[in-house]
Amino acid sequence: VQLVESGGGLVQAGGSLRLSCAAPGRTFTLSNSAMGWFRQAPGKERQFVATMHWAGHSTYYADSVKGRFTISRDIAKNTLYLQMNNLKPEDTAVYYCAAEPFGTGQNPQSSYKYWGQGTQVTVSS
């Protein structure tokens, strides 16, 4: 398994969750990869949430989550995170972690080669 997400759950509006993405069986090199979080709500297409290069030079966010979500990584743990604060019902979705070897963090999701199985986030009003 290349990528494994965890940390999803049910939370009330205004609450927080932190998603984690581990890469236990990866066959790519994290240090030269872009990593990202994407989400898919019921009946909707999967959409971009946040991306970054593993080197940590830049981060990118969807307008809908700017100021509320933070993407980060722990190099020692080889783990990607998504800290989600002030959650809203419209954030309800399955959240996916993805990796793009040799990516920059600025490419579309179609460029991401490896995907996790997803973790459900449900925000109640």
Mean pLDDT of 25-32: 87
pLDDT for residue 20:
98
Tokens coding 88 = 């809203």
pLDDT for residue 95:
98
Would you say 20 and 7 are in contact if contact means Cβ atoms under 8 Å apart? Answer: yes
Per-residue pLDDT tens digits for 52-98: 999 887 899 999 999 999 999 999 999 999 999 999 999 999 999 99
Would you say 85 and 67 are in contact if contact means Cβ atoms under 8 Å apart? Answer: no
pLDDT for residue 19:
98
